[in-house]
């Protein structure tokens, strides 16, 4: 197996490592039931609805 003959500079290493970042930040979407922000494919933290039905009981929601 080949080994590097010379050392890579810090700048070259940093250029390569600059691509290790969060690319897909989850974006919140509007809940169709209450209109508050929620993540996709998750129950709404405010009203507890998912895909048109209540899956989490929220007694404080009016």
Strands (DSSP E) found in the chain: 29-30, 37-38, 49-50, 53-54
Identify whether the C-beta of residue 30 lies closer than 8 Å to the C-beta of residue 15: no
Band of pLDDT at residue 30, cut at 50, 70 and 90: very high
pTM of the model: 0.54
pLDDT given at position 11 = 95
* Cβ-count burial 13-49 (b if 16+ within 10 Å, e if not): eeeeeeeeeeeeeeeeeebebbeeebeeeebbebbbb
Instruction: Indicate the pLDDT class of residue 26, thresholds 50, 70 and 90.
Output: confident
More confident residue, 12 or 18: 12
**What is the pLDDT of the chain when averaged over all its residues?**
87
């Amino acid at each position: 197996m080949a080994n590097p003959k010379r050392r890579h500079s810090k700048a070259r290493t940093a250029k390569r490592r600059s691509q290790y970042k969060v690319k897909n930040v989850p974006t919140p979407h509007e809940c169709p039931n209450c209109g508050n922000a929620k993540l996709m494919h998750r129950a709404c933290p405010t009203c507890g609805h998912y895909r048109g039905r209540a899956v989490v009981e929220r007694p404080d929601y009016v």
